[in-house]
Structure 1
């Protein structure tokens, strides 16, 4: 009887484990599934939109957004550019002449820039490596298809790499016209748990000026003089509404500090706060509300 009791208890435990595992798998599947949006009518253009991922990530993070946009009918073309650690860029796929709002998913092999840090700061890494990777990816596609105008969508560290790219190249004649720039979860002035704390930085609502300027932010101050005047900017950030005023990794103030860097330069500037669980840092690039915002901002 004792053995029988143990066997029954074991079966019950296994059943519980199976149920819990099944729920977990279902939740992960739901989180990773493409957050589809309703089909939309948009203006058709040949202007490519480049997607840049964040720290430790890859083109896979961009693909959920890209596929949702394609399923909604806003594009018919998705290609990828792989950038090796030495900076060499390689195009995977082709953009046809009749391509509608083509999307370019950029993948960085060196997705942490660890060896380019200087004195524990990433400002040096963004300038020496990140900006170069961004430039090489954009130049490869532009030189092949002769685009004069582009759009950019960046997430997390991708924003800092893009910002350094603009800072270092905006005054050059060969610099492309950036029609639209979407910044998602950009940690322009610190990362929670590293060099920032929840509610530590305060933002001047009128100018966007932060109460604390960390090294990475100060490194971008020259954007106030060179940021392209023809560029429309949409700044998307998340608020978990748990009292931290952050997406778990980036404080709202750190993301909002972008306004100060482009204030008086950008053609337009808008902010979109994603509230609740969907505003978590990594969920922002797989969020139906974000996908709708991208489509409306880029092509309507």
Structure 2
């Protein structure tokens, strides 16, 4: 009986030893491919959106092992923020899905205050010093109006990387895009016409944080737009930045799933996000 126990124990130990290299090897593989950071990445949805708009991206990021942690920052109609879920101490690449309960608010200044409330809540709860941001559609205006009011505030977590996805910086088609927006300067990004909200963002040309790496992603159905936002409006983002960011790059997507409402459910977008935010 004793001999059988010894043999069984030896087999268990041997099995554990055999499995250890596989586990550690997988962890090492992840470390070799992706940055391991405690900096959270915030996801902002667009007009009429919710965390459902962000879930495909978050699920895809977690599926490849970049992160194991995702929480929701729920913002009430009055701007009060409730965090749903917990970010463990030293969690690797935590993800924060921002949800505006009033998801049809077009007061961008107010949206910017809501974005600040989310960032302050995270900072007070978890003491983050840095953040990354991805925003889809009108969520980009919440982010830009947040930066307009807070770009010089060093007490807030400092933005490191920003991804704009289908950003209607100079308006959306059939709504507030200038009727005479016909071109964007290829070098500066200056649009031939500007709507009111875009003009209010012009001070960012002198205050946008210099440490940020920026990626501007937009879809083209072959008509110079993604069905809701023209490529001209998205490309006008460059002019607001005025060569201040540490880096700026544009990616024009074609093919399937590049319609405005499908950009955040596009496998290619997921790959772009993973490489930009966490790739080595």
TM-score calculated relative to the size of structure 2: 0.86
* Deviations, residues 166-196 of structure 1 (Å, cap 9, x unaligned): 0101112313211100001110112111233
User: Does the 8 A contact of 1:189 with 1:214 survive in 2?
Assistant: yes
Instruction: Tell me if 1:77 matches 2:69.
Output: yes
Report the CA distance between 1:200 and its aligned residue. 4.1
User: Does the 8 A contact of 1:201 with 1:254 survive in 2?
Assistant: no
Distance 1:202 1:181 in 2: 24
Distance 1:91 1:260 in 2: 35
Aligned match for 1:205, one of 186, 204, 211: 186
Q: Provide the residue aligned with 1:166 in structure 2.
A: 147
Tell me the SS of whatever aligns to 2:38: coil
Report the CA distance between 1:89 and its aligned residue. 0.2
Distance 1:137 1:220 in 2: 21
Report the CA distance between 1:98 and its aligned residue. 3.2
Aligned match for 1:110, one of 102, 113, 117: 102
Call closer, same or farther: CA 1:154–1:95 in 2, change over 3 Å: same
Q: Provide the residue aligned with 1:94 in structure 2.
A: 86
* Deviations, residues 187-210 of structure 1 (Å, cap 9, x unaligned): 011211123389943010100000
Q: Provide the residue aligned with 1:32 in structure 2.
A: none
Unaligned runs of 5+ in 2: 1-28
Report the CA distance between 1:216 and its aligned residue. 1.4
Q: Provide the residue aligned with 1:296 in structure 2.
A: 275
Report the CA distance between 1:59 and its aligned residue. 0.9
* Deviations, residues 231-260 of structure 1 (Å, cap 9, x unaligned): 00000000011x3x0000000010000000
The alignment of Structure 1 onto Structure 2 pairs a total of residues equal to 249
Matches within 5 A, 1:48-63: 48-63=40-55
User: Does the 8 A contact of 2:69 with 2:95 survive in 1?
Assistant: yes
Instruction: Choose 86-95 or 166-175, whichever is displaced more.
Output: 166-175
User: Does the 8 A contact of 1:198 with 1:246 survive in 2?
Assistant: no
Aligned match for 2:241, one of 256, 262, 265: 262
Aligned match for 1:252, one of 227, 231, 249: 231
Distance 1:147 1:247 in 2: 35
Aligned match for 1:232, one of 213, 227, 232: 213
Q: Structure 1 residue runs of 4+, over 6 Å off? A: none
Unaligned runs of 5+ in 1: 1-38, 114-121
Q: Provide the residue aligned with 1:126 in structure 2.
A: 108
User: Does the 8 A contact of 2:216 with 2:250 survive in 1?
Assistant: yes
